[in-house]
Amino acid sequence: MAPGGDADRDDLGRVAELLANPCAREILVYTAREALSADELVARCDASRTTVYRQLERLEAAELVTSTVQLDPGGHHFERYRARLDRVTVDLDSDGLSVTVDRTDPPNDAVDRLEGLFDRLR
């Protein structure tokens, strides 16, 4: 991002607003450790189901978490969430503020599953 540009300010504002929310922070911390379903997050976070889902939507829109679809043994599917936020850097210089939001690459589900299958076969 260009220092001090509109995209920087938009990203900084969106990320700062999310990080100011205790529930969003909890979600990021928990999903940085492991991929979790919304139900698992509701059980761990000090927030209602509605709040957790709302924060997941906002975090996903800001590309700070990613979701993957999982199938359970009964044939139903659900989403698991994983943090993509790696680092937020805010620099101040004579041109003003600039922000860099480093995100991890989203997982490639098909490749990850295939690699896992091969690992189990070895």
- All structural domains of the chain with their residue ranges: 6-121
* pLDDT reported for residue 104: 85
* pLDDT at residue 51 is higher than 90: yes
How far is C-alpha 72 from the geometric centre of its chain's CA atoms? Answer: 22
Burial bucket for residue 51 (CB in 10 Å: 0-12, 13-18, 19+):
middle
Share of the chain above pLDDT 70, in %: 78
Higher per-residue pLDDT: 82 or 105? 82
pLDDT value of position 121 = 62
Q: What's the pLDDT at 2? A: 43
> Residue 84 and residue 59: Cα distance in Å, rounded?
9
Of 23, 28, 2, 51, nearest in space to 12 by CA:
2
Alpha helices, DSSP H, located in 1-122: 6-19, 22-33, 38-44, 49-61, 109-121
Give the strand order in the sheet containing 65-71.
Answer: 36-37, 77-83, 65-71
pLDDT confidence tier of residue 56, bands split at 50, 70 and 90: very high
Residues, the chain, total?
A: 122
Within 13 Å and on the Cβ side, how many CA atoms surround 14?
18
With a cut of 80, say whether residue 115 has pLDDT above it.
no
- The model's confidence at residue 1, banded by pLDDT at 50, 70 and 90, is very low
Q: Tell me: the pLDDT tens digits for 2-31?
A: 444 555 566 778 888 999 999 999 999 999
Among residues 81, 83, 76, which one has the least CA distance to residue 103?
Answer: 83
Q: Is 6-121 assigned to CATH 3.10.105.10? A: no
